[in-house]
Amino acid sequence: MDETLFIKAVLIYKTLYPNLAPRFNWDGDCLLVGHNFIKTNSGPGMNCKSERAIKFCHYMHNIGVNLCPGLSNTALDFKDKTDS
């Protein structure tokens, strides 16, 4: 997945949660708004160091979406080692 596709995927996922906010706001027992965590793959091309990707991560954080890099998918590495 390249950087553009990654950004589009996160933006599509964000539309599922219309009540995003940087801080939680409760009304008694009901959550009115709050932030969301999206666990992402930290493999090559996912979380780039480009200026565009950094600005995107800052923008998402400011609106209440925290991108959390997970472990990269090692299935490809394992497959490459077992094929030889």
What pTM was computed for the model? 0.63
Q: Which of 17, 56, 52 is nearest to 37 (CA)?
A: 17
Instruction: Quick: pLDDT tens for 56-67.
Output: 888 888 888 888
**Closest by Cα among 46, 5, 44, 38 to 20:** 38
User: In the chain, where are the structural domains located?
Assistant: 3-83
Nearest one of 30, 43, 37 to 65, comparing CA atoms? 37
What's the pLDDT tens digit per position in 14-73?
A: 888 778 888 888 888 877 888 888 877 666 656 667 788 888 888 888 888 888 777 665
